[in-house]
Amino acid sequence: GPSAPEGPAAVLVGPMGVGKSTVGRVLAERLGTTFRDTDTDIVESAGKEISEIFIDEGEPHFRELERQAVATAVAGHPGVLALGGGAILDPDTRALLTGLPVVFLEMGVAEAVKRTGLDAPRPLLAVNPRQRWRELMEQRRPLYTEVARAVVTTEGRTPDEVADAVMDAL
């Protein structure tokens, strides 16, 4: 359906490392608009890194901050928005995405491990990355699919090519 007039031009969801921020910046430039990332908003308002929030306050508290960040961003940001990989776990956050031009960026396990395993270790994939990835995606894939209007693969594509595919999909 049509998106709200003041809502975001596109909302990118998908697993960590899939390239939401990189593609989001390219897409925003193409559309002549701005890019915003809810992870960055959370870090700015909390005054600490996401890993510290997870350690100090726990994941449930992080998801609450994330829900507030998504609510603020979808209401006030007309540009391209990227959400953290686990944002869709929260039912209230999913409800905030109803009717918006949400695109699920996806990749396979080999690509995921390549992108997140070595140079940028993430706490959720630190141990047994392949196994953990499969478990996370088993839980999350239906949720990404539920909120998304389109699914775009990033496998074997440059950020520019992914941005093209997202534009075609919207």
39 lines the binding site for ligand S3P (CB under 6 A): yes
Residues 131-170 that bind ligand S3P (CB under 6 A): none
Is 140 assigned a ligand-binding role in the annotation? Answer: yes
Least Å distance, CB 1 to ligand S3P, is: 26
Rule CB under 6 A: choose which of 24, 85, 101, 129 binds ligand S3P: 85
Residue 164, class by beta-carbon neighbours within 10 Å (0-12 exposed, 13-18 middle, 19+ buried)? Answer: middle
Rule CB under 6 A: choose which of 7, 24, 86, 101 binds ligand S3P: 86
124 lines the binding site for ligand S3P (CB under 6 A): yes
Tokens 């391209």 found at: 80
Closer residue to ligand S3P in complex, CB, 82/163: 82
**129-156 burial, b for 16+ CB within 10 Å, e for fewer?**
beebbeebbeebbebbeebbbeebebee
Q: Please report, as a single letter, which amino acid is at residue 9.
A: A
Q: Residue numbers of the site for ligand S3P (CB under 6 A)?
A: 16, 20, 39, 50, 84-86, 124
